[in-house]
Structure 1
């Protein structure tokens, strides 16, 4: 069975997280992704660390299934190679600083004028135009500018999220835009020029806190694991750890206290009878739940909550997540190769009934350079000349 994006070629001038995540998802769906990297060091995410058998964890996560072309884009010969590959591609994705691609001779307007059917996606921190256009835009900075830091953490201490949320949000909207543009092109034959902003992607994800502030004028409080509008909704002690419990309606509260915690008198307690009451008396509500949850082990209470249909979850460490019984039961782990070793990788969360995602190798820097130079129309002698001059680099 064909992959959904078989036959689609993507050229990506990408680095760090957001754009590489987008193109990795496209590669998982069957697209051919040609990753253009600098000679010498390549994508700087390669060097964030060396924890995956000598390869960076970010790079392994973000770059499987791609072909690596290492060329010097300050050289006209290097740019010419990339332009030729783009001319034969369906999609061009880049997340360089605003204006950098145009200065290299790979500006969106010129590419679209030459290739009207091309889909181009420019992923930037703040979008094109506006006073922030030229600002540095790392994930943490965008989380702060988008207000995410203001609602994340404890009442005493704001915090960024533990994963690069702004990068991930922008990367997912980049995927969405590519798929939508390709679908429209299939109907009209016309490509697209798309601008994806990390700031706007993250502000979109702010969702109900943003609307709460917009229509009340009140800054939502930082709640840790709790919830501004729901109670009980937090982690509660057990004899050997903690467990998350989230009751989202009044019938769930009645089930929790009657069938699980064994304190049915709390079901109609006027402090707790409705969610509005429970939020108003949050401290007392949490204390009542904690007094009973602390009488069982985590496993015992988890089983009781599951049997009663009360939403709950273990507070797992990452080693426990790796061994998660649900992932094991659904057979979600596969193996992919890196330049140094074979490593474990998770299947993407989108599962087609008739075909499994293409889990390709994580390329060494310049692993495909020689082949791609030939594909760009260079003779063997011309390709050897670029390699000899350092304009292009081929992995050993």
Structure 2
């Protein structure tokens, strides 16, 4: 597939989510991505079989790649992999801690023979520190970084419903690769990039952390209530409908009170006259607003919110997302037939998404072995 990264060769010794996320986005941008799979395949291929027999995670994260099965414990296969890396622009790996060092696939060894090579090591906690040797999976890192403690209901912590730690590590790795590719045009040399699940999520946890360190109290778990902005939560209308509203400033607060709730006196109530007071008095605030929403059906509430230009959304299910009028789709071919994926969130004016096929396990074994044979 043509794109801004056309001509860039990526070799990715990958599994699961974080590294495949990174390499799939490089493939979307036109890079040639060779996915190195263990003989039994990336274990994400077997997470489930809901997509016509294919795994949902796998079809999402492996479009546009070539698949070759290699056993790096086999001397000939390891030599083949190293010949690929010599010709590569980018090498990505997210194996268990310490594995790459045993096989001479660490960044220092690889870049000593290919100065233009950009290497990306994705791990749970990085190469140094007391956690360096620990395995790390998404929910473990959600727990370790405190994310689970600011997520969920007041009664108990919860897991964010998608693999945010893996995705964050992949996204940060992607940013690093793009920066390194640009810098290489100036210096002629590649770089070594480290991206970890822990560091990626710790960055996303900065606001709760600052509240803890400077305010002496981390935000509590509030379900659908924002911890530091109010009202920013869900309300139920008289017909059982639900709307989620967000008030970001004083102008919006006054508009909500005057044009939606039709209770202008509420805006200057000493308990609610600014955001700090509204957060401190969240329960009586919610009760006041809820009582007024109960006098409306959902269509009336939506009408008033639109007229007042108050930001709001629906409390949708995943089934609602499937038919959402704003959702864009792109069809990609898989070994089990076409798959209707969400289109890329990155849009370029005048261009249309094109995803290349999702490979079967070892689909490119023969062609790649011939291409990178020891000649």
Fold similarity call, TM over 0.5? yes
CA distance in 1, matches of 2:321, 2:265: 37
* 1:305 matches 2:305: yes
CA distance in 2, matches of 1:342, 1:173: 30
Rounded to whole Å, the distance in 1 between the matches of 2:113 and 2:282 is 62
What CA distance in whole angstroms lies between the structure 2 residues aligned with 1:117 and 1:217?
Answer: 47
CA contact 1:302–1:314 (8 Å) conserved in 2: no
Equivalent residue for 1:388? Answer: none
Higher RCO structure, 1 or 2 (CA under 8 Å, sep 6+): 1
Task: Please name the residue that 2:355 is paired with.
Answer: 359
Partner secondary structure for residue 61 of structure 1: helix
Using the alignment, how far apart are the partners of 2:219 and 2:342 within structure 1?
35
Query: Is the alpha carbon distance of 1:273 and 1:55 closer, same or farther for their aligned partners in structure 2, counting shifts above 3 Å?
Result: same
In 2, Cα distance between equivalents of 1:137 and 1:31: 28
Deviates more, 1:262-271 or 1:312-321: 262-271
CA distance in structure 2 between the partners assigned to 1:240 and 1:368 by the alignment: 54
Provide the rounded CA distance (Å) in 2 between the counterparts of 1:220 and 1:231.
13
1:59-93, CA deviations, whole angstroms, 9 ceiling, x for partnerless residues? 01111111101122110111111111111110000
Residue pair 2:233, 2:245 contacting (<8 A) in 1 also: yes
**CA distance 1:2–1:15, shift in 2 (3 Å):** closer
State the SS of the aligned residue for 1:267.
helix
Structure 1: unaligned runs, 5 residues or longer: 380-396
Tell me the equivalent position of 2:367: 371
Deviation at 1:104, TM superposition (A): 2.6
The TM-score normalised by the length of structure 1 is 0.91
* 1:113-262 correspondence runs (5 A): 113-238=112-237, 239-262=239-262
2:342 alignment partner in structure 1: 346
Residue number among 327, 333, 340 corresponding to 2:329 in the alignment: 333
Equivalent positions of 1:49-88 (< 5 A) are 49-88=48-87
Distance 2:339 2:115 in 1: 40
Q: State how far apart, in whole Å, the 1-side matches of 2:297 and 2:359 are.
A: 46
What is the CA-CA distance between 1:129 and the residue it aligns to? 1.0
Would you say 1:7 and 2:7 are equivalent positions? Answer: yes
Cα distance in 2 for partners of 1:105, 1:281 equals 59
The Cα shift of 1:378 comes to 5.4
* TM, length-normalised to structure 2: 0.96
The alignment of Structure 1 onto Structure 2 pairs a total of residues equal to 374
Q: Decide whether the 8 Å contact of 1:302 with 1:313 is kept in 2.
A: no
Does structure 2 conserve the Cα–Cα contact (< 8 Å) formed by 1:18 and 1:170? yes
Distance 1:354 1:104 in 2: 45
Distance 2:326 2:350 in 1: 21
- Deviations, residues 300-328 of structure 1 (Å, cap 9, x unaligned): 4223212311111101111111211122x
Question: Counterpart of 2:295?
Answer: 295
* Structure 1 SS opposite 2:48: coil
Where 1:5 maps in the other structure, the secondary structure is: coil
For residues 297 and 363 of structure 1, the distance between their equivalents in structure 2, rounded to whole angstroms, comes to 50
Check whether the contact 1:11–1:91 (CA below 8 A) recurs between aligned residues: yes
CA distance in 1 between counterparts of 2:139 and 2:220 reads: 20
1:298, 1:314 within 8 Å by CA — same for their partners in 2?
Answer: no
What displacement does 1:121 show?
0.4
Residue-by-residue CA offset, 1:112-157 (whole Å, 9 max, x unaligned): 1111110000000001111100111000111111111111112210
The answer to whether the Cα contact below 8 Å between 1:242 and 1:314 also exists between their aligned partners in 2 is: yes
Q: CA deviation at 1:348?
A: 1.2
SS in 1 for 2:21: helix
**What is the CA distance between 1:356 and its match in structure 2?**
3.3
Q: CA RMSD in A?
A: 1.5
Is contact 2:150-2:157 (8 Å) kept? yes
